[in-house]
Amino acid sequence: MNLETLILAAGKGTRMKSKLPKVLHKVCGKPMLQYVIEAAKRTGSKREVVVIGSGAELVEKTFSGVVEFAVQEEQLGTGHAVLSAKKNFAESKGTLLILCGDTPLLTSKLLKDFTAAHEKSNCAATVLTADMPDATGYGRVLHENNGTFKKIVEEKDANDEQKKIREVNSGVYCFDVQKLFAALEKVGNNNAQGEYYLPDVLPILKAEGNKVGVFKAEYCIETIGINTRSQLAAADKAIRMRKEQALMEAGITIIDPNTTFIEDTVKIGQDTIIRPNTYIEGNTVIGEDCEIGPNVRLTDMKVGNKVKVQFSYCHEAEILDGVTLGPYVHIRPGTTIGQNVKIGNFVEIKNSNIGEGSKLPHLQYIGDTDVGSNVNVGCGTVTCNYDGKKKYRTTIGDNAFIGCNTNLVAPVKVEDGAYIAAGSTITKDVPKDNLAVARSRQVNIAVWDDKRK
Domains of the chain plus CATH, in order, are 3-223 (3.90.550.10), 250-436 (2.160.10.10)
Partner residues linked to 212 by β-bridges: 125
Tens-place pLDDT, residues 25-45: 999 999 999 999 999 999 999
Tell me the β-bridge partners of 425. 407
Report the mean per-residue pLDDT for the chain: 95
Q: Which of 107-121, 177-191, 338-352 has the lowest mean pLDDT?
A: 177-191
The mean pLDDT value for 216-238 works out to 95
Enter the pTM of the model. 0.91
- As annotated, the active-site residues are 362
Tens-place pLDDT, residues 142-166: 999 888 899 999 888 899 999 999 9
Which helix (H) or strand (E) element contains residue 115? helix 108-121
What confidence tier does 184 reach under pLDDT thresholds 50, 70, 90?
A: very high
d(CA 312, CA 292): 10
**For strand 302-303 and strand 318-319, is the pairing parallel, antiparallel, or unpaired?**
parallel
Asked whether 397 and 372 are in contact (CB, 8 A), the reply is: yes
Where does residue 29 rank: exposed (0-12), middle (13-18), buried (19+ CB within 10 A)? buried
Q: Residue 450, exposed/middle/buried by CB under 10 A (0-12, 13-18, 19+)?
A: exposed
Which pLDDT belongs to residue 425? 97
Mean pLDDT of 318-330: 98
Q: How far apart are CA 36 and CA 216, in angstroms?
A: 19
- Nearest CA among 368, 363, 353, 357 for reference residue 408: 368
**Better-predicted residue by pLDDT, 190 or 312:** 312
453 pLDDT more than 80? no
